Amino acid sequence: MSTDRPDMRISDAERELVVAQLNAAVAEGRLTLSEFEDRVDGVLRSRTFGEIEPYVGDLPQKGPMAVPEQLEIRNRSSSLKRQGRWTVSRRLLISTRSGSIKLDFTEAVFTSPVVEVQLEARSSSIELVLPRGATADIGSIAPHSSSVKQKVPAVYDQPEQGVIFKIGGEVRSSSVRVRYQRRFWRWRW
């Protein structure tokens, strides 16, 4: 695992990717079961990228962190929330029917300066909470009997300071909101 900053803290999602890499190494015959158990214990106790390096340094890499290029989120008649520290792929595909999705990107780790979000929603609500400094382009959303609200600057309003979200897709009888996190004196939502 290579990273420019070995002292940077590792997220739970990134730890899971390392454990998946160790699982693949066992399946390929590169590690014995006892080596696998020892390495998984070490990975789960690690807090930084530098601490993880000894456990995967001798294994082949499929990329800097083997973060998938695309993440697909499917939701049917349910409520789905994602918040806290998580790794965001370069491309997100969100498909929802009769449900609600709230993705909070304020503490997320981005693998790319541009995040493409493709929506497919029917009778649903989607809320995207962007980190401060991020911009959004919602011009590619095709709404049909829907509400689309953007409460963050458009890409062309600001020079490239933060992450750029390019949001497109088709929404029917749904609502889409793109905003920053709201903060008050001691609490936020």
- 9-25 pLDDT, tens per residue? 888 778 888 888 888 88
Percent of the chain exceeding pLDDT 70 equals 86
The answer on 129 and 117 residing in a single domain is yes
If asked whether residues 51 and 77 sit together in one domain, one would say no
Query: What's the number of domains the chain is made of?
Result: 2
- Model confidence pLDDT, tens digit, residues 73-106: 899 999 999 988 888 888 999 999 999 999 999 9
- Are 61 and 92 found together in one domain? no
pLDDT score at 12: 78
Tell me: do 59 and 89 sit in the same domain.
no
The answer to whether position 187 is within a domain reads no
Same domain, 171 and 101: yes
Non-local (6+) Cβ contacts of 117 within 8 A are: 91, 92, 94, 128, 165, 166, 167, 168, 169
Tell me: do 49 and 103 sit in the same domain: no
Instruction: Round to whole Å and give the CA distance between 29 and 99.
Output: 43
pLDDT for 53: 86
Domain that residue 141 falls in: 70-180
Give pLDDT tens digits for 144-162.
Answer: 999 999 999 887 655 556 8
For residue 106, the tally of other CB atoms under 10 A from its CB is 15
- Whether the CB-CB separation of 49 and 8 falls below 8 Å is answered with yes
Residue 186 falls within a domain, yes or no?
no
Residue 118 counted as domain residue: yes
**Pair (92, 57) in one structural domain:** no
Confidence of residue 4 (pLDDT cuts 50, 70, 90): low
For residue 151 the two structure tokens come to 């409460």
Residues 38 and 77 in one domain: no
pLDDT score recorded for residue 159: 54
Strand partners, 122: 97, 172
